């Protein structure tokens, strides 16, 4: 069998890492005569090892759409004023023309490489994200012509990515949410889907994907590469580079500081740690929009949380392994993850994790035997009725503004659920501007901060104590057993064989296959007739930091 893996680009990032892991697993299986990576042209994120194992094909027109202008007054549905375009100059509105060009390019390039329908399987990553609006239509045509296709969904355009979803509405000239769903998630006997989580599988099942064509395929998890260090050796190096006190204790948030990472909450955790507890955020964002948010938090931290260390991974004198090795534990305040790799990797290095619990991913990890008692569900902030109602209004306004780019008929119909009887509000649910005000009030009003601390006593205790060795060891074992490269690789090969109608030779006798565990999930039938954007809104709560624009 020949496998062609497709994505718009292979720049550094989560999808590229997943693809590299898949390439390694396929090569180790010895069952595939050729592995081909196809992309819109960008591939600087691929390692030398991967490039030696694959053939690389560049496909014109398969990279992201570009947006040269945006008209924010869309409720009049005057699509002709849009300035959306792609690299070859065609407007996104010329969808059929673009699809035809992409199909011709695809067939020509694959024919040049001796690849045809028979014996070739297509594994397409993130086809429905809306970054290239022509892709779903191309996939539907390829399936009807006999190609067998696995669509792996990492992220959703419907998941608070209004620009992406709006581009799809405009490009397809859809008149309803259901028309968008039909376009984004093509149905065919030759099309199977893979998701990173069971929750995402439930969404696709409610959108009409039959369970026989739906697979649960989590990411494989491996420890970060690099030289190993003792904690004391690494801590000494980190403290020297960061110019921290010699008695400082180190914790690490090993991410790029984009909006959904909820940096304001990191400032709060660092503030609540012991006086010598410092928390480092490793990487700065790469886009102007994200940098504005990041720089704001750096300025705020100087006043309200001076034990938060920014750019902790930017120094050439520190490796990621040194940073993690120096840490007592890893922290995460993220409010949205497609899989949550950072929740699992640290256990393999003997480091515990303290994180905001995201049920869409954490439920899977706990189902697999990972002990997440160190995770927290919320950070309640107390206030009087007037203040709480004002905060709730700000949250509703923020959500409404985020989706205001869409015609009203395409906006999520799921309303935010506010419990007006609650006497607190979760810190992460606050708008970033309100988070700043809360942090500044804590500086000025010790009584207010003490009241908030009392509501998070368990979390604060965990920030200042060591993880039990037994938990570290058992979690590492669970991660290796359920998410190791061998386990996920075998699952991937079985899915390919099922899609191709071939019996797998790597079946484990008497073992429970990870893709079979999808059958345990009871998807709430109340969601059955809802659109994709409404389903996603129901499964994934709204956090204003995700859509803030400065």
pLDDT value for 538 = 87
Kindly report the CATH number that applies to the domain delimited by 2-220+484-546: 3.40.50.2000
**Predicted pLDDT of residue 286:** 86
Q: Write out the CATH class of domain 231-376+456-481.
A: alpha beta
Residue 415's pLDDT is: 73
Q: Is 73 exposed, middle or buried (0-12, 13-18, 19+ CB in 10 A)?
A: exposed
Rounded to whole angstroms, the Cα distance separating 35 from 120 reads: 10
Residue 511: other Cβ atoms inside 10 A = 10
pLDDT for res 504:
46
Query: Which letter, b or e, does each residue of 31-44 get, where b requires 16 or more Cβ atoms within 10 Å of its Cβ?
Result: beeebbbbbbebbe
pLDDT of residue 528: 57
Q: How much is the pTM? A: 0.89
Same fold, 2-220+484-546 and 231-376+456-481: yes
- Tokens (6 digits) for 130: 């809306």
Q: Which of 392, 382, 439 is nearest to 415 (CA)?
A: 392
Cα-based distances in Å from 493 to 30, 207, 489, 498? 10, 26, 6, 9
Residue ranges covered by each domain of the chain = 2-220+484-546, 231-376+456-481, 382-425
- 194 three-class SS: strand
For the chain, the straight-line distance linking the first and the last C-alpha, in angstroms and rounded, comes to 50
Q: Can you give the pLDDT of all 550 residues of the chain as single tens digits?
A: 899 999 999 998 889 999 999 999 999 988 998 999 999 989 999 999 999 999 999 999 999 987 544 443 333 333 333 444 444 444 555 899 999 999 999 999 999 999 999 999 999 999 999 999 999 999 999 999 999 999 999 999 999 999 999 999 999 999 999 999 999 999 999 999 999 999 999 999 999 999 999 999 999 998 877 777 899 999 999 999 999 999 999 999 999 999 999 999 999 999 999 999 999 999 999 899 999 999 999 999 999 999 999 999 999 999 999 999 999 999 999 999 999 999 999 999 999 999 999 999 999 999 999 999 999 999 999 999 999 999 999 999 999 999 998 999 999 987 766 665 689 999 999 999 999 999 999 999 999 999 999 999 999 999 999 999 999 999 999 999 999 988 999 999 999 999 988 544 444 433 445 555 555 555 655 555 689 999 999 888 899 999 999 9
**In this structure, how many other beta carbons lie within 10 angstroms of the beta carbon of residue 224?**
14
Question: 312, 308, 330: which is closest to 241 by C-alpha?
Answer: 312
pLDDT, residue 76, reads 38
Q: How many CB atoms lie within 10 A of CB 242?
A: 18
Partnered with residue 35 across adjacent β-strands are 3
- Sign, CA dihedral 492-498-503-508, equals positive
Q: Are strands 148-153 and 191-195 parallel, antiparallel or unpaired?
A: parallel
pLDDT-above-90 percentage for the chain:
81
Instruction: Let me know: does 145 contact 118? Beta carbons within 8 Å.
Output: no
What are the tens digits of pLDDT across the range 493-531? Answer: 999 999 988 544 444 433 445 555 555 555 655 555 689
């Amino acid at each position: 069998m020949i496998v062609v893996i497709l994505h718009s680009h292979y720049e550094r990032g989560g999808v590229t890492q997943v693809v590299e892991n898949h390439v390694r697993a396929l090569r180790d299986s010895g069952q595939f005569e050729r592995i081909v990576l196809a992309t819109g042209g960008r591939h600087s994120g691929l390692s030398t090892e991967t490039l030696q194992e694959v053939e690389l094909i560049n496909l014109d027109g398969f990279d992201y759409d570009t947006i040269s202008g945006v008209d924010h007054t869309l409720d009049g549905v005057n699509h002709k004023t849009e300035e959306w375009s792609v690299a070859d100059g065609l407007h996104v509105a010329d969808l059929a023309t673009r699809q035809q060009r992409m199909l011709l390019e695809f067939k020509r390039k694959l024919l040049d490489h001796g690849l045809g329908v028979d014996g070739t399987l297509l594994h397409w990553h993130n086809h429905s994200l809306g970054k290239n609006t022509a892709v779903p239509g191309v996939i539907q045509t390829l399936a009807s012509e006999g190609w067998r296709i696995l669509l792996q969904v990492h992220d959703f355009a419907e998941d608070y990515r209004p620009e992406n979803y709006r581009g799809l509405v405009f490009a397809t000239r859809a008149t309803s949410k259901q028309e968008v769903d039909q376009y984004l998630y093509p149905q065919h006997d030759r099309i199977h889907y893979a998701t990173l989580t069971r929750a995402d599988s439930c969404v696709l099942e409610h959108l009409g994907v039959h369970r026989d064509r739906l697979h649960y395929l989590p990411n494989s998890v491996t420890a970060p590469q690099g030289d190993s260090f003792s904690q004391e050796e690494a801590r000494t190096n980190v403290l020297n580079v960061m110019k921290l006190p010699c008695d400082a204790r180190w914790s690490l948030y090993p991410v790029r500081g984009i909006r959904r990472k909820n940096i304001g909450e990191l400032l709060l955790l660092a503030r609540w740690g012991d006086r010598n507890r410092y928390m480092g955020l490793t990487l700065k964002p790469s886009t102007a929009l994200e940098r504005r948010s990041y720089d704001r938090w750096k300025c705020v931290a100087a006043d309200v949380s001076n034990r938060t260390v920014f750019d902790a991974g930017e120094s050439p004198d520190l490796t990621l392994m040194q940073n993690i090795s120096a840490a007592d534990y890893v922290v995460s305040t993220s409010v949205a993850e497609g899989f949550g790799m950072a929740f699992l990797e640290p256990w393999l290095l003997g480091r515990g994790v303290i994180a905001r619990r995201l049920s869409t991913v954490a439920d899977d990890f706990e189902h697999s035997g990972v002990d997440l008692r160190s995770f927290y569900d919320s950070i309640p902030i107390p206030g009087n009725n007037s203040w709480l109602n004002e905060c709730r209004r700000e949250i509703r306004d923020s959500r409404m503004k985020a989706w205001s780019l869409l015609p009203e008929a395409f906006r999520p119909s799921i309303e935010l659920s506010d419990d007006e009887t609650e006497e607190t509000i979760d810190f992460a649910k606050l708008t970033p501007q309100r988070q700043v005000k809360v942090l500044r009030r804590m500086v000025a009003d010790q009584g207010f901060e003490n009241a908030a601390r009392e509501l998070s006593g368990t979390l604060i205790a965990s920030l200042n104590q060591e993880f039990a060795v037994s938990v570290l060891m058992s979690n590492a074992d669970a991660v290796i057993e359920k998410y190791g490269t061998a386990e996920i690789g075998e699952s991937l090969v079985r899915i390919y064989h099922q899609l191709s109608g071939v019996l797998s030779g790597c079946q484990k006798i008497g073992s429970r296959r990870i893709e079979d565990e999808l059958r345990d999930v009871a998807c709430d039938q109340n969601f059955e007739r809802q659109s994709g954007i409404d389903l996603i809104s129901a499964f994934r709560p709204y956090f204003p930091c995700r859509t803030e624009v400065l």
